[in-house]
Structure 1
């Protein structure tokens, strides 16, 4: 079973908030926490004089030590390790994801994560990580102040066992309500269309619901398009959980337009969970 949560550290406000959420997840799920800082500038390739390179590495180690001290003040019981990597930050996070339960990143970054904008490192991690990726905006509340409500987008076209299992387990760990949101994208028309869609949604949730009988689950149908519905639902949620399609044999997830839009516009942190298409 994965033993740790990985969080990208670069000193920005976005990364500090990602650290808050990563630490909260690690404590609730009894996992270790690893603080990772990656930068090409640390590569001993002759670009930077050796003395300057040593000074730069020392500064980045100090940054990691500061982040470790910060998180241990709030969670002294947490096992916290640090790692400095002389590599592209996105690739460093993806390599670390192979043995992780979760990768947490801020929605923007500076310093070693200078490219941490959605569409570069954040998007790269969401597209290639081999575990769920949590993308945390700077304006997200502290985890303890977040609403007791999670939203999971249920598509219905793809295998969603991993997605639903993650969302249900996370909601249960928080004692939160889980909203299973299915966006049709067109008008229901006859009432029987709504009944049919609700029945399909209930069937999609049935197996997971049976394993979490005490978890309050609300099925929600909407005629809106999925991206708009999820962004609006994020206004009153601790997390929005969405699935990325994993292409078998290629080792990457295709976020798609919906996930891309949610990552850019959600009002709360977003988790992208890898999933498989049964036909691929």
Structure 2
């Protein structure tokens, strides 16, 4: 089975925006799209009469089919399926991430499943998914109205190649320009430091610009912290791409501080690209 794009659907207005972003990605990458709704309320058990459970399942199936019809009108070339899950929303989407190319979730307010605020389902998926996760904030435009720019956060001496590669591939497929952003964490100590940072950024990009010669790249070194620089750039971008610093096996939040700050404050959708989990990843 080919990899697919998975998006969570709950019938809210914001979920439709997340659906548009998911379908646009599926079209650009020529992938099938799966619309998923998950709820423990769909399980059989003593807490809910079987007739009520069947009615609920039928209602949620109708909701998914309505979303599918909507998406097909906008993206008729995309193969679109639907699925109900009796699991909790976060676990259902993380399970789907094992076979997915991308999982898409809404954030802030009732844009996820069951009216849960971002910080529950959204953060759980972003912190545990095995594939990239696209988080669509309520403030984001629809993809057709988004700026023609992708911002990718690049670390200095140890750039995350899987993150850079994801951003270059998506830029090549969509025709977007790529802003390669490296934040130094504060003001430059000297002109020499600025020169060194510029050289390290150019070195990190060199192989990728040769592999994707048609992608328009704008290298940018910012004298700010990574969260501040990425959030600032998000106000004029269609997408922000960053590494997901997942911390498996720990109690508490599963993402790093930079991830949290950008997810909570970005004005455009954010893609978190995971790497092989390391228990000693920095928070």
TM tier relative to shorter chain: over 0.9
Q: Tell me if structure 2 keeps the 8 A contact 1:9–1:37.
A: yes
Which range is displaced more, 170-179 or 19-28? Answer: 170-179
SS of the residue corresponding to residue 114 of structure 1 reads: helix
Q: Which residue of 1 aligns with 2:84?
A: 84
1:77-116 equivalences in 2 (<5 Å): 77-108=77-108, 110=110, 113-114=113-114, 116=116
Q: Tell me if structure 2 keeps the 8 A contact 1:159–1:277.
A: no
Residues 247 and 120 of structure 1: is their aligned pair in 2 closer, same or farther, counting only changes over 3 Å?
closer
CA distance in 1 between partners of 2:116 and 2:130 (Å): 19
Q: Which residue of 2 aligns with 1:30?
A: 30
SS of the residue corresponding to residue 271 of structure 1 reads: strand
Offset at 1:139?
3.0
Which range is displaced more, 71-80 or 103-112? Answer: 103-112
CA distance in 2 between partners of 1:42 and 1:79 (Å): 26
Residues 112 and 208 of structure 1: is their aligned pair in 2 closer, same or farther, counting only changes over 3 Å?
closer
**Number of residue pairs aligned between Structure 1 and Structure 2:** 278
Q: Which residue of 2 aligns with 1:58?
A: 58
Q: Which residue of 2 aligns with 1:154?
A: 154
CA distance in 2 between partners of 1:200 and 1:111 (Å): 39
Q: Which residue of 2 aligns with 1:143?
A: 143
CA RMSD of superposed structures (Å)? 2.2
1:199-218 equivalences in 2 (<5 Å): 199-218=199-218
Q: Tell me if structure 1 keeps the 8 A contact 2:240–2:271.
A: yes
CA distance in 2 between partners of 1:132 and 1:164 (Å): 13
1:120-269 equivalences in 2 (<5 Å): 120-156=120-156, 158=158, 160-246=160-246, 254-269=254-269
Q: Which residue of 2 aligns with 1:12?
A: 12
Q: Tell me if structure 2 keeps the 8 A contact 1:244–1:254.
A: no
Q: Tell me if structure 2 keeps the 8 A contact 1:248–1:276.
A: no
SS of the residue corresponding to residue 236 of structure 1 reads: coil
Structure 1 stretches of at least 4 aligned residues deviating more than 6 Å after TM superposition: 277-280
CA distance in 2 between partners of 1:109 and 1:264 (Å): 12
CA distance in 2 between partners of 1:156 and 1:47 (Å): 54
Q: Tell me if structure 1 keeps the 8 A contact 2:246–2:256.
A: no
Offset at 1:62?
0.5
SS of the residue corresponding to residue 245 of structure 2 reads: strand
Given the two structures, how large is their TM-score scaled by the length of structure 1? 0.93
CA distance in 2 between partners of 1:48 and 1:60 (Å): 16
Unpaired runs of at least 5, structure 2: none
